[in-house]
Amino acid sequence: MSLTNKQRCRFVLYRRLSLNRRLLPPGPKGLPFIGNLWNVPTEYPWLTYARWTATYGDILYLDTPGNPTVVLNSAQAAADLFEKRSRNYSDRPDFTMMKLAGWENMMGLMRYSDQMRRRMFHQYFQLRAVPAYYPVQMKATSVLLQQLHKSPDAFVHHVRHHSGSVIMKIVYGFDVDPNGDHFVGLVDRAMESARVIGNMGIFVVDYIPSLKYLPRWFPGANFLNLAHAWSKDVQNMKQSPFEYTSQSLAKGDAPSSFVSENLTKMKQFGAPDCAAHLEVIRDTAAIAFAAGADTSCFLQCSRFFSTLRYKPRPKPELDAVVGSTRLPNFDDRPQLPYIEAILSEALRWNPVVPTSIAHRNVQEDVYRGYYIPAGATIIGNAWAILHDEKDYPNPLVFDPERFMSAEGKEPQPEPIAAFGFGRRICPGRYLASNTAVDRHCVYGIDVVRLPRLWILKVVLLNLVIPLRTVL
């Protein structure tokens, strides 16, 4: 063993002994040298973390060598750290598996310092900007209803293409073919990896980054083969639609879009590093495309299912506001509180990313008397927070009434945790929510007449979602 390796071993041992002398948050017992690597949950970790709350409390510690992890299982703990101490808790961990799979340089996964991508994204997807996209959303949903009426058996296919068509038009200016589209297929394949990797703890390489140097043929290194295949899909998703818009702009026939407008600005005002600026535009567009299409599809499928279960109440509400001579539009939204409650309950009951995207603290900290070492991975367990019986009685029951005001009854907290926490909350949440709650979808249920049990089966079989864990 070289002197350098000896020094490293001594440093790691010294650091672990030093941490043990401080009061760390409680957690499951680890083993010497490997800590909790043997019992870190890799299947549905959000459920295991939630169960551990009864034993260890709402803040727990996992001792993983070189990567200490703190899990927050309550809204109070998440608010105290991610919001009140956001300056320290807004960074991201390295996400080794995400990088191996090609998701590096994606804004939501990057360190907090990259302001250029953040500013560019915020300009187009902030609350004040999304009304400009109403016509795109209304047109896409009209097409969706026609497709559902024509072939209801292809329910998930139609909903995926609806979500993809909205974000594709906004980001790249491209009109999606409702009968099947190459670009929507690209994002579907790419997002397969994000749905798996996004929940921290699925792959051990996230806790031991040095495992990425193993050869792909090495026993137990199949994650490298997965990452290699996924990275090709992610690269295609980034590059193909971006090249389409770039070529359309060069020919002079590119419609207004996120990419075309930013490429035009870059040419007009110049950029110190043209290649780097192009990469920023491309990657920011890709994350908007991927996250927008996938999240909106998820919300719409959950919402279709829930609307079928609670159909008697939404229909009279729609009839009273809209009548029988027109379809709903976004101006009707304030007059449709029960339909709004269905969306809130879909977000709460079945969050898109159950463990949210992990944070990282820059400096060491003390919370409730517990020591949190610098550089720890901080997981906000959105599933546990949104199924906390103190805030949401009977949390496994789908009940939109919990978000309705009534005499002597306050509505339960809005499920903001479904979109993340603090400064790293999902910046595209307004567009995703609007796409999902478009009133055409609710109104179209009567036209399509989808079987209740069939729609549940389709949702379960076609979407990688935690719904199946509570049924």
User: What is the C-alpha to C-alpha distance for residues 311 and 339, in angstroms, rounded to an integer?
Assistant: 10
Structure tokens given for 457: 């089966």
Per DSSP, 465 falls in state -
Q: What are phi and psi of 91, to 5 degrees?
A: -80, 170
For residue 237, the Cα-to-chain-centroid distance in whole angstroms is 17
Question: 93 near 358, Cβ under 8 Å?
Answer: yes
In the three-class reduction of DSSP (H, G, I as helix; E, B as strand; rest coil), residue 69 is classed as: strand
User: What is the C-alpha to C-alpha distance for residues 322 and 64, in angstroms, rounded to an integer?
Assistant: 56
Please report, to the nearest 10 degrees, the dihedral formed by the alpha carbons of residues 118, 120, 122, 125 taken in order: -130
CA proximity to 162, closest of 322, 53, 301, 54:
301
Residue 327's Cβ-count burial label (10 Å; 0-12, 13-18, 19+) is: middle
* Residue pointed to by tokens 């997981």: 379
Is 426 flagged in the annotation as binding? yes
Question: 194 near 290, Cβ under 8 Å?
Answer: yes
User: What is the C-alpha to C-alpha distance for residues 191 and 311, in angstroms, rounded to an integer?
Assistant: 31
CA proximity to 292, closest of 419, 138, 168, 420:
168
User: What is the C-alpha to C-alpha distance for residues 69 and 442, in angstroms, rounded to an integer?
Assistant: 42
User: What is the C-alpha to C-alpha distance for residues 325 and 333, in angstroms, rounded to an integer?
Assistant: 17
Question: 405 near 411, Cβ under 8 Å?
Answer: yes
Q: Which residue ranges make up the annotated binding site for heme?
A: 426
Q: Which residue ranges make up the annotated binding site?
A: 426
